[in-house]
Amino acid sequence: QVRLAESGGGAVQPGGSLKLSCTVSGSAASPGCMGWLRQAPGQEREIVAQLYNGGRSPYYADSVKGRFTISRETGTDTLYLQMSRLKPGDTAVYYCAADLNTCLRRTYRPNEYTYRGRGTQVTVSS
């Protein structure tokens, strides 16, 4: 069983930055594939960013390319999402997601990850 816990959400003005963190616990095996999802009110959950195993460049949703950066800390498996130049449209609950399987080329759909955290709220408003 993998447990994921997000932190770092909050309220920020448009143009601001936030860095989300996701800590991993509960399993002797490191997650293979990890990513960030988000869900805005009244909308479906969507994938924001995903790290591929094997060195391939990360996947980013078109709406966040050039503004968000996903990274993972070797050893602790802590997952990060650096978010810059935030827009009101980025307002959502952000979820950390993981699967024990690796993803060399495959981009997971939101409901394909085996594990997901409880989420952290990000609100972008003036």
Question: What are 40-53's pLDDT values in tens digits?
Answer: 999 999 999 999 98
Report the relative pairing of strands 120-124 and 92-99 from DSSP bridges: antiparallel
pLDDT of residue 27: 76
Q: Which residue has the tokens 């447990």?
A: 3
- pLDDT by residue (tens digit) across 60-98? 999 999 999 999 998 888 999 999 999 999 999 999 999
Strand ranges (E), 32-78 = 33-39, 46-51, 59-60, 68-72
Q: Which residues pair with 49 in a beta bridge?
A: 36, 60
